[in-house]
Amino acid sequence: MGSGRRVVVVGMGIRSPVGNSLKEFVESLREGRSGIRKMSEWENIRRLRTKVAGICNIEGEEKGIPRNCRRSMGRVSVLAALSAIDAVRQSGLREDAIASPDCGISYGSTAGSTIEQVELIGRFILNSDLTGALASSYLRCMSHTCAGNLSTLFHLQGPFIASCTACVSGSQGIGFGYEAIRSGKAEIMITGGAEEMHFLHAAVFDLMLATSSRYNDDPSKTPRPFDAERDGLVVAEGAGTLVLEEYEHAKRRGAPILAEVEGFWTNGSGVHLTDSDAPSIERCMRSALGDARRSPEEIQHVNAHATATANGDEAEAVAIHRVYGSHVSVTAIKGYTGHTLGASGAIEAVATILMMREGFLAPTLNLERPDPHLPPLNHVIGDPVDKRFTVAVNNNFAFGGINTSLILSQV
């Protein structure tokens, strides 16, 4: 028991704009597929600059979730549940091991189901009428709807953690699950994050002039992380789930060990609610290294948050350069998926683990000419690179000045 306990990944599941299975997701990274499309349904929204987004195709899949559970699920919980069902299936864990006090949940999203929130608030505020409103409306849109619905779906009795911290919700979900196992509070944790699409998500960033609009008629060319021609982020939806387990517990049952979570850190910048801050990002990465008892020289790859905003990419590039210099390879996958907000940390952790296991580095899609005003990083550009690596970093940042850094390794 205690801090010496190791934590491993034994199952993963994904729903993303470029694939709903691990196999399809890897193929998209290898083949440079963009999941960004033009949102014709946004054409009549006045003053909305961005008209592109990343959408998941899950038509008909929700029938794989028991009907009695679906009643309390909005789209965000459905995405979470579909990815979690796949992850639990891959883990090989028995139902009684999952439905026990030894197994908990640590899962996040930005704000529950925005679709359901708008429906409920619209009825009440605009019409002063709750006629037709469902008794399950709140359960679909509450901030911890993903964690709550997954807990019920799998009959979990262990620790319950819901991270509702915008774009680090998924990475904190993994990190807090790792901490629960390492400290002896659980043997197994279902972790990750999810997000559903609604134009209000785009509007939040659009009002701050942080969205991409230059490529509305050429959606596969945006976003452009670290590129000199980047013009902002592209909102997207998705879900990523990682089943974590204590190493000896997993070994005893012959579990498929996919990776190890060696370290995690999260901190606040204390500087600004929206602007990324290089010094606090640097502190976060160094603290995650300390948690993993690793030196910067041991890290072989960095999966960057890289939203393709001017300030965000600059702050992260400065921090990565200060900690790792120019030798470590750097990839950002938002060129493929868009910014999946509360799901991004989990989806990008899945991407990092898949590349580590498959022995390749995906290029940063749409990165053609690195911004010369940023510190020089060892970007992966053009074609995938065959490379075996065993230790990697996954970074994510969010409004509120929140930073996260995960250290992932091959066992």
CA nearest to 37, candidates 235, 200, 231, 194: 235
Compute, in degrees rounded to 10, the torsion defined by CA atoms 274, 275, 276, 279: -120
What the block records as the tokens of 231 is 């013009």
Q: How far is CA 312 from CA 56, 254, 281, in A?
A: 25, 42, 11
Please tell me whether residues 247 and 300 are part of one structural domain: no
Do residues 150 and 272 both lie within one domain?
no
339: in domain: yes
The reply to whether 39 falls in a domain is: yes
Query: Residue 263 — very low, low, confident or very high, per pLDDT cuts 50/70/90?
Result: very high
DSSP letter at 132?
T
Residue 274: C-alpha distances to residues 166, 311, 323, 371 (Å): 11, 10, 23, 22
Average the pLDDT over 379-400 and give the result. Answer: 97
Whether 18 is in a domain gets the answer yes
- Average pLDDT on 211-240 reads 98
pLDDT band at 144 (very low <50, low <70, confident <90, very high): very high
Residue 244 clears pLDDT 70, i.e. is over it: yes
- With the C-alpha atoms ordered 407, 196, 244, 159, is the resulting torsion angle positive or negative? positive
Residue 166 half-sphere exposure toward CB, CA atoms < 13 A: 15
Segment 301-324 shows an average pLDDT of 98
Query: Residue 327 falls within a domain, yes or no?
Result: yes
Q: How many CA atoms lie within 13 A of 279 on its CB side?
A: 4
Instruction: Tell me the H-state helices in 233-277.
Output: 247-252
CATH number of the domain bearing residue 358: 3.40.47.10
- Out of 236, 259, 282, a domain closes at 259
Catalytic residues: 167, 305, 339
What pLDDT shows up at residue 1? 37
Strands, E assignment, 4-92? 7-15, 36-38, 52-54
The per-residue pLDDT for 120 is 82
User: DSSP letters along 104-130, please?
Assistant: EEEEE-SSS-HHHHHHHHIIIIITS--
User: Is-contact 237 55, C-beta < 8 A?
Assistant: yes
Same domain, residue pair 343 and 355 = yes
Rounded Cα–Cα distance for residues 179 and 320 (Å) = 24
Lowest-confidence region among 14-23, 225-234, 269-278, 382-391: 269-278
pTM for this predicted structure: 0.97
Residue 2's pLDDT band (cuts 50, 70, 90): very low
- In this structure, are 157 and 267 located in the same domain? no
Same domain, 239 and 270: no
Same domain, 402 and 382: yes
On the 0-12 / 13-18 / 19+ scale of CB atoms within 10 A, 214 is: middle
192 secondary structure, DSSP code = E
94 contact partners, CB below 8 Å, separation of at least 6: none
The answer to whether 193 and 163 have CB atoms below 8 angstroms apart is yes
* In a shared domain, residues 174 and 254: yes
The answer to whether residue 1 sits within a structural domain is no
3-state secondary structure at position 147: helix
Domain that holds residue 283: 263-409
Structural domain count of the chain:
2
Please state at what angle helix 114-121 crosses helix 199-206, rounded to 10 degrees. Answer: 90
**Average pLDDT of 251-273?**
96
Between 122 and 5, residue with greater pLDDT: 5
Q: Among the listed ranges 112-121, 146-155, 241-250, which one has the minimum average pLDDT value?
A: 112-121
Asked if 251 and 393 sit in the same domain, the reply is no
**33 part of a folded domain:** yes
Residue 167 counted as domain residue: yes
Share of the chain above pLDDT 90, in %: 91
Domain shared by 84 and 215, yes or no? yes
* Same domain for 192 and 331: no
- Of the three residues 229, 259, 289, the one that is the final residue of a domain is 259
Residue 366 resides in a domain: yes
Final residue before a domain boundary, out of 259, 292, 313:
259
Same domain, 270 and 386: yes
Q: What is the mean pLDDT of the chain?
A: 96
Residues 339, 379: one domain? yes
